[in-house]
């Protein structure tokens, strides 16, 4: 086996780990694959040489590639972007202290919802949180990746945890509301008007922001009629969180077309806020593969 073949074999052993890092930072398998390919090209150019800790070296290189990719998206620079599709009430945050193990589990437990919420983080916050809280990379190593002090890096991760806690689902607060939203989506997918009316308040209001402005629909019957888009076989509904309340991301052909946020009270939907403007969706929804 040649030196290059040995190096390639070593890299392949690390590929699943590196892909896991890149996917959690970028939120897209396709983008993660691109980042891993770039990491391999850099390793091939550099050679094994004096690299003592190949896993650590590749972690650093892959993380920097992902950081650069996030910054190139250019949506917010270093300012956090809040996913805002309407005037949605936000519950007051509870106790800010969270069990460290629970915070690590957070990133793997909420699927796409997490990635939508994570899009509110700056690139540096996102990298700090993923590397430290999920992959247990020491803060001094992350500081070297980001080009910041260790203390500043710890603060970035702390801010990220705080933002994610505000948007992460909690069993007590959101489980019942999510059940109502799931029932709405199931009925919409079947074209079941009676099922829709059962989970909509009589005075429910749908307010959607689209390319032509804001459209307002009032009344359970009218809103149920608007829900027929969910019955399209090519439309897929993905549970997400919007401003901390249960929502859904609708995709067609793998592309986001609508984000909806549901206000639920007394077991029924009382308001729905939506966003259908393609340009705005492109800013708010991170790149990902269904």
**Higher-confidence position of 70 and 143:** 143
DSSP secondary structure string for all residues of 229-251: GGG-TTEEEEEEEETTEEEEEEE
**Higher-confidence position of 28 and 199:** 199
Yes or no: say if 58 and 39 are a contact pair by the CB < 8 Å rule. yes
- Residues 7-59: pLDDT tens digits? 999 999 999 999 989 988 887 778 889 999 999 999 999 998 889 999 999 99
Yes or no: say if 276 and 258 are a contact pair by the CB < 8 Å rule. yes
Task: Report how far residue 213's alpha carbon sits from residue 127's, in angstroms, rounded to the nearest whole number.
Answer: 36
- Residues 77-96: pLDDT tens digits? 333 223 333 322 222 233 33
Q: How far apart are the first and last CA of the chain?
A: 39
Q: Is the dihedral of CA 216, 238, 134, 124 positive or negative?
A: negative
pLDDT of residue 26: 84
Cα 232 from chain centre:
24
Task: Estimate the crossing angle of helix 54-73 against helix 3-26, to 10 degrees.
Answer: 40
**Which pTM was predicted?**
0.50
Task: Report how far residue 126's alpha carbon sits from residue 76's, in angstroms, rounded to the nearest whole number.
Answer: 13
pLDDT of residue 90: 28
Of the candidates 149, 148, 115, which has an alpha carbon nearest to the alpha carbon of residue 130? 115
How much is the average pLDDT of 165-183?
A: 67
**Higher-confidence position of 211 and 279:** 211
């Amino acid at each position: 086996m040649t030196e290059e073949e040995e190096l390639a074999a070593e890299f392949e052993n690390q590929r699943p780990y590196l892909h896991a890092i890149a996917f959690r930072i970028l939120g897209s398998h396709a983008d993660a694959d691109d980042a891993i390919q770039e990491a391999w090209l850099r390793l091939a150019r550099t050679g094994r040489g004096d690299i003592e800790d190949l896993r650590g070296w590749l972690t650093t290189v892959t993380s920097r590639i992902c950081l650069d990719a996030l910054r190139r998206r250019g949506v917010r620079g270093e300012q956090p972007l809040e996913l805002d599709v309407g005037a949605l009430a936000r519950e007051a945050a509870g106790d800010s202290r969270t069990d460290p193990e629970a915070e690590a589990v957070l990133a793997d437990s909420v699927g796409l919802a997490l990635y939508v919420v994570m899009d509110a983080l700056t690139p540096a916050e996102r990298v700090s949180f993923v590397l430290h809280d999920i992959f247990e990379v020491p803060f001094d190593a992350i500081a070297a990746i980001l080009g910041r002090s260790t203390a500043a890096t710890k603060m970035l991760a702390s801010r990220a945890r705080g933002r994610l806690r505000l948007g992460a689902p909690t069993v007590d607060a959101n489980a019942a509301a999510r059940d109502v939203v799931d029932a709405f989506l199931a009925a919409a997918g079947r074209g079941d008007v009676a099922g829709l009316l059962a989970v909509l308040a009589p005075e429910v209001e749908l307010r959607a922001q689209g390319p032509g402005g804001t459209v307002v629909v009032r009344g359970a019957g009218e809103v149920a009629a608007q829900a027929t888009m969910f019955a399209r076989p090519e439309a897929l509904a993905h549970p997400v969180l919007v401003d901390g309340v249960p929502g859904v991301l609708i995709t067609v052909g793998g592309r986001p077309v609508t984000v909806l946020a549901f206000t639920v009270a007394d077991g029924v939907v009382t308001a729905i806020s939506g966003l259908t403007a393609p340009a705005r969706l492109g800013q708010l929804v991170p790149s990902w593969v269904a």
